[in-house]
Amino acid sequence: MATVIITPQNDGPYHITGDFQINTQGGQPIAAGKNEVWLCRCGQSSHKPLCDGSHKKVGFSSNLDEKP
Ligand code: FES
């Protein structure tokens, strides 16, 4: 059984759930204590690596074949 689940959202971020840890390049924890985050993949978030909803403003298209 996976402890971390990564689910790409159609035209949006990666939804991460489970027992995970995300660090900055310098090793500082990001979103410590959380078991759910959304990671930006459109490149437009002002709060990277987390999604801030900017993907909607820029019309990001993920071109996923499968709709969630
Ligand atoms: S995916 Fe949401 S701001 Fe980039």
CA distances to 21, 46, 51 from 38, rounded to whole Å, are: 13, 13, 6
Distance in Å, CA 43 to ligand 1 centroid: 7
Q: Which domains does the chain have, with CATH numbers?
A: 4-58 (3.40.5)
| Ligand 1 binding pocket, CB closer than 6 Å | 12-13, 40-42, 44-45, 51-55
Length of the chain: 68
Q: Contact at 8 Å (CB) between 44 and 57?
A: yes
> Each residue of 8-66: pLDDT tens digit?
999 999 999 999 999 999 999 998 899 999 999 999 999 999 999 999 999 999 987 66
Q: How far is the CA of 3 from the centre of ligand 1 (A)?
A: 24
